[in-house]
Chains A and B, each alone.
Chain A
């Protein structure tokens, strides 16, 4: 009972989020975006710092960097006089959508919400498990390569090191994926 109402609540959050992000992606006016930011901060006040941190680390550097570089190129390279407002709006819109996304996803159980689509859940589980496994294996291989070399490995060293180990790692990853897939199928997915 509890888990089905949880799943319903998660799906309702996801539906509201999809509508909200499409709505936010249509905003261009700085004042409207400011009001939307204030509303989002009020709605997602609890746990907002974590979402803000994620936005600051993963979204804003790219958006701001791109906007600044493009503005500077237009201003100094092409000698035009671009207005700052659309660039600010672009950065704010991207940051706001990301903030809403991170805040909503912190409040839903994605796998539970996707339960009516078992193939999707199975593929998602496989991909997530493999992403963690491959990242771990890649980090371990890099650390192993570093420990075997007297200097910092260059690009050629990385390619040489990767050549020997990647095949074996990929074989292992696929066997892991097959085990997970078989286990999930035996549980009705």
Chain B
């Protein structure tokens, strides 16, 4: 799902950084300062877990593959800004050490996968969590992933609209290639992962994590 370096021009990547930077600053100051002594290890572990599950590719019909994101969980447990900072870190590590995604597109990827998706998941869980429990967790994971996918596809479409010479793949092609596997396969797995991980974390009763 990551947009790789070189797929988006500075016309898009620089404004995305301008939006992301203050949010990073607020997120780090509010949730990762001195007061985060208890929660930081759990957040670190969940970030690592998100990193590991993002490397697990799910094959989809047609010979391609898609992957989970796994940070909706952080938004549900803490706050969408925690998910945003953690996913940004995951994306940075993937770009730097594994060549997945990239540095110029970090702002775009982080906003799509780290903020919009997790914020949607958080909202769904806040609205339905009390009345629907596991169903709400599933729906939160599913909706979060769809929102992230549509956001990434929309940005690629915008780049094509701005310059076909820069990004020659039309919106219809990139949208279908991204949304169909996400809606039919990955979204369901992401929803199940969210339910499964939440119930495990409840049983584990970890210090620094109130459920």
Per the bound structure, the CA–CA distance linking A124 and B103 in Å amounts to: 16
Q: Cβ of B129: which chain A residues have Cβ within 8 Å of it?
A: none
With an 8 Å Cβ cutoff, the count of chain B residues facing the other chain is 55
Q: Cβ of A93: which chain B residues have Cβ within 8 Å of it?
A: 5-6
Q: Cβ of A41: which chain B residues have Cβ within 8 Å of it?
A: none
Number of A-B contacts (CB under 8 A): 168
Among A3-11, A42-50, A133-141, A143-151, the stretch that binds chain B is A133-141
Per the bound structure, the CA–CA distance linking A26 and B100 in Å amounts to: 19
Name B29's closest neighbour in chain A (CB-CB). Answer: A119
A37 at the interface (CB under 8 A from B): no
Q: Cβ of B184: which chain A residues have Cβ within 8 Å of it?
A: none
Contact with B4, one of A18, A63, A122 (Cβ below 8 angstroms): A63
**By the criterion CB–CB under 8 Å, are A22 and B44 in contact?**
no
**By the criterion CB–CB under 8 Å, are A94 and B6 in contact?**
yes
Per the bound structure, the CA–CA distance linking A58 and B4 in Å amounts to: 11
Contact with A123, one of B32, B168, B169 (Cβ below 8 angstroms): B32
Closest A-B pairs by Cβ, 5 of them: A130-B48, A126-B44, A94-B6, A93-B6, A177-B41
Per the bound structure, the CA–CA distance linking A64 and B177 in Å amounts to: 15
13 A-B contacts (beta carbon < 8 Å): A18-B103, A25-B9, A28-B166, A94-B7, A119-B36, A123-B43, A126-B41, A127-B44, A129-B48, A131-B93, A167-B204, A170-B204, A177-B45
State how many angstroms separate the Cβ of A119 from the closest Cβ of chain B.
5
A interface secondary structure, majority: helix
Q: Cβ of B164: which chain A residues have Cβ within 8 Å of it?
A: 86
Name B167's closest neighbour in chain A (CB-CB). Answer: A90
B133 at the interface (CB under 8 A from A): no
Contact with B173, one of A24, A54, A70 (Cβ below 8 angstroms): A70
Known: A74-B170, A123-B47, A177-B44. 19 other contacts (CB 8 A): A21-B104, A25-B10, A25-B104, A55-B99, A90-B167, A90-B168, A97-B103, A101-B96, A105-B96, A124-B89, A126-B40, A129-B48, A130-B47, A134-B51, A166-B200, A173-B48, A174-B206, A177-B41, A181-B37
A interface residues, Cβ below 8 angstroms from B: 17-18, 21-22, 24-26, 28, 54-55, 58-59, 62-63, 66, 69-71, 73-74, 82-83, 86-87, 89-90, 93-98, 101-102, 105, 110, 119-120, 122-124, 126-131, 133-135, 138, 163, 166-167, 170-171, 173-174, 177-178, 180-181, 185
Contact with B5, one of A54, A98, A131, A177 (Cβ below 8 angstroms): A98
Q: Cβ of B89: which chain A residues have Cβ within 8 Å of it?
A: 123-124, 127
**By the criterion CB–CB under 8 Å, are B48 and A131 in contact?**
yes
**By the criterion CB–CB under 8 Å, are B4 and A62 in contact?**
yes
State how many angstroms separate the Cβ of B50 from the closest Cβ of chain A.
9
Per the bound structure, the CA–CA distance linking A120 and B44 in Å amounts to: 11
B183 at the interface (CB under 8 A from A): no
**By the criterion CB–CB under 8 Å, are B207 and A178 in contact?**
yes
**By the criterion CB–CB under 8 Å, are A102 and B99 in contact?**
yes
**By the criterion CB–CB under 8 Å, are A119 and B28 in contact?**
yes
**By the criterion CB–CB under 8 Å, are A97 and B163 in contact?**
no
Contact with B51, one of A17, A127, A178, A181 (Cβ below 8 angstroms): A127
Name A92's closest neighbour in chain B (CB-CB). Answer: B6
**By the criterion CB–CB under 8 Å, are A90 and B7 in contact?**
yes
Per the bound structure, the CA–CA distance linking A70 and B7 in Å amounts to: 14
Task: Determine which residue in A74, A82, A127, A163 has the highest number of CB atoms from chain B within 10 A of its CB, and name it.
Answer: A127
**By the criterion CB–CB under 8 Å, are A70 and B8 in contact?**
no
Per the bound structure, the CA–CA distance linking A85 and B136 in Å amounts to: 47
